[in-house]
Amino acid sequence: MFTGLVATTGTLRTLGDYLLHISCGNAAPEKILQDLAIGDSVAVDGICLTVTEILPTGFVAAVSPETLSRTTLASETGEALVNLEPSLRVGSKLGGHFVTGHIDGIGYLDTAVQTATAWEMSFRVSDPRVARYIVPKGSIAVNGVSLTVADCNPAGTWFKVAVIPHTYAETNLRKLQPGSPVNLEGDVLGKYVEKFLRIGPHPQSPALADLEATMAAGHMDDSSHSSSESLTPAFLAEHGYL
């Protein structure tokens, strides 16, 4: 789990088909490599990767075919500047939003315009797996950067964000050119809400079925009440549900 607040940038290069070497740069010792252990997760351009080897100035991470197919990693050649964020620790500040590091798909920079207070960046999205979660004032991670959707079309295939100067300067968003691909992750809370609305009420659990059978058998103090009105903590405790 991550927050979308990038700690630093690094340089990525491939080591074969499914291994990546990430050099963390001068800021890495205290921001990335400190306390890093084999098996830990690091967000690399928003992609949750598992550390398989720790090096003096960076680390090696494994990548799966599924990750390659969903992200910009497959199109990377040579060395690439990437955003880096260590995983969220218990008690850490949550300044962005909940980011899982599980990329939904790829988008492309449309325009980047500097204003007096921010960089207004717009992106195009053709993948419906991404577009469905883009809503006005919703959260989205672009290359691992937590951003708020300032505007979007109804389908979610185009959206705009405002990037403050600090974020623009400290991440690889400043390197993007029109047409550049980016990794996109929609808000995980929206995904669960969508599923609940799609499948409707959850099938009744065996425990709840047993409880309602008990109530129907007349083991209630007041049979004139409905089942929902009689589900009190005392009743649940009496019948072994608390």
List pLDDT tens digits, range 19-31: 999 998 655 556 7
Domain assignment present for 92: no
* pLDDT tier at 78, thresholds 50, 70, 90: confident
**Furthest-apart CA atoms within the chain: distance in Å:** 75
Domain assignment present for 60: yes
Task: Collect all residues with Cβ–Cβ distance below 8 Å to 239 and sequence separation of at least 6.
Answer: 211, 214, 219
Range of the structural domain that residue 216 is part of: 206-238
Domain assignment present for 184: yes
Total domains in the chain come to: 3
At 139 the pLDDT is 94
Do residue 169 and residue 220 come from a single domain?
no
At 112 the pLDDT is 97
Domain assignment present for 161: yes
At 88 the pLDDT is 81
Task: Collect all residues with Cβ–Cβ distance below 8 Å to 50 and sequence separation of at least 6.
Answer: 39, 40, 41, 61, 62
The token pair at 29 is 């010792």
At 214 the pLDDT is 64
Domain assignment present for 75: yes
The whole-chain average pLDDT of the chain stands at: 85
Do residue 112 and residue 174 come from a single domain?
yes
Do residue 144 and residue 217 come from a single domain?
no
* pLDDT tier at 227, thresholds 50, 70, 90: very low
Do residue 189 and residue 215 come from a single domain?
no
The token pair at 98 is 């909940």
Domain assignment present for 187: yes
Domain assignment present for 224: yes
What do you get for the CA distance between the two ends of the chain, in Å? Answer: 32
Nearest-angstrom CA–CA distance, 12 and 100: 21
Find tokens 């300044």 and name the residue: 95
Model confidence pLDDT, tens digit, residues 107-158: 999 999 999 999 999 999 998 889 999 999 999 999 999 999 999 999 999 9
- Give me the CATH number covering residue 184: 2.40.30.20
Do residue 29 and residue 55 come from a single domain?
yes
Do residue 194 and residue 215 come from a single domain?
no
* pLDDT tier at 223, thresholds 50, 70, 90: very low
* pLDDT tier at 191, thresholds 50, 70, 90: confident
Do residue 210 and residue 193 come from a single domain?
no
At 218 the pLDDT is 58
Residue after which a domain boundary falls, among 166, 181, 198: 198
- The stretches of the chain forming alpha helices (DSSP H) are 28, 65-70, 128-131, 165-170, 188-199, 206-216, 227-230, 233-238
Nearest-angstrom CA–CA distance, 47 and 44: 5
